[in-house]
Amino acid sequence: MREHSSGIGNWRRVSSGWGGGAGSSSGVLLAGLGVLSFSFSFPATDWALDGGRGLGPWTVTGLRGVLAGLLALGCLVGGRVPVPERRHWRGLAAVALGCVVGFPLLTTFALQTAGSAHSAVVIGVLPLATAVVSALRSRTRLSRSYWGAAVAGAVVVAAFTLLQNHGRPTGADLYLVAALLVCAVGYAEGGRLARDLPGWQVIAWAVVAALPLTAVTAAVAPAVEPVGLTAHAVVGVGYLAAVSQFGGFVLWYRGMAAIGVPRASQLQLAQPLLTLLWSVLLLGERLPPAAPAAAVLVLGCIAITQRVGARRTAVTRPAATTVLTGGPVVSNGGRPD
């Protein structure tokens, strides 16, 4: 029996495919709260830039990474958490490069020329990209019903957000596509790591691992780009660091560990619509008339993917999928080690 404990709490691992019962419900809730947290990220980034009066994109990325890294480091030290095993380092590097550096920087560049609503298109395609990366990484075969609902949901969201801009891709779309790819890898690797490590530790070690890069960026960037500490800029960076870069990921990875990467990733189909709502309320953007219809279609796709299982095929050898719940360590189909 191997027990994994920390100052934050104890978890146990139980065998699961897609989960069920209370564990599955709590996993959906945690992943959903993570999506809600992320849905404010684009408006917060817009505030941090503050229309050219706030901070530059490199400064925003560096500061949010440094502040989140210091917060995470305090939690790790306070909880006396040991350094992850060497086999986890590659995955943590992927999370750091994809979710801590790549995605924030690329989307911040995009938001310099594109609005928050337009940039939400990347979130519409992200669930499908995450599911593809996860399936390839874990050699999982997903059912046709799952793929049908996932593709339909992604198409609805992508079409809805692109139609707002009359279907004309901008230069920012290149940043968004690149951000999509690196973030999908980071999400998939983070979900895989969260089966072995508590979810909060996954993102905590990732932002700490990225500290050398983010610290250098935060130190150098203010000398080469405008820096304005407006009220919006301060609030925006504060939210990005504490919630988007750390707190939201704690909820997100814990939820993914409980219900699996494919199911959790489909909850993100609702994120662009939430972002549109916050864009209207916080940024004064105009809500398109098609929003209610798109919301109904997307929620329908989410409902389907939440009911469809993943059919796993062992390409090499059978292996149990683990989830994290509260209590002592349990494995081998629920039998104590």
Identify the CA nearest to 103 among candidates 234, 203, 31.
203
60-110 tens-digit pLDDT: 999 999 999 999 999 999 999 999 999 999 999 999 999 999 999 999 999
Return the pLDDT at 332. Answer: 33
Return the pLDDT at 187. Answer: 84
Q: In what order do the strands lie in the sheet with 10-15?
A: 4-5, 10-15, 322-326
The residues near 82 (Cβ < 8 Å, ≥ 6 apart) are none
Per DSSP, helices labelled H in 114-247 are 116-119, 121-138, 144-163, 172-193, 199-209, 211-220, 231-239
**Residue 333 to residue 318: CA distance in whole angstroms:** 13
The residues near 60 (Cβ < 8 Å, ≥ 6 apart) are 45, 48, 49, 104, 108, 236, 237, 240
Identify the CA nearest to 106 among candidates 126, 80, 92, 87.
126
**Residue 119 to residue 138: CA distance in whole angstroms:** 29
**Residue 323 to residue 327: CA distance in whole angstroms:** 12
**Residue 254 to residue 269: CA distance in whole angstroms:** 18
**Residue 108 to residue 54: CA distance in whole angstroms:** 12
**Residue 262 to residue 128: CA distance in whole angstroms:** 8
Residues of the chain with pLDDT under 50: 1-20, 310-337
One-letter amino acid identity for 120?
Answer: A
**Residue 149 to residue 265: CA distance in whole angstroms:** 12
In Å, how far are 60, 115, 163, 172, 236 from 288, measured between CA atoms?
Answer: 29, 14, 9, 21, 25
Token readout for 227 is 């820096």
pTM of the entire structure?
A: 0.76
Please state the φ and ψ torsions of residue 15, each to the nearest 5 degrees: -70, 140
Return the pLDDT at 165. Answer: 67
Return the pLDDT at 22. Answer: 55
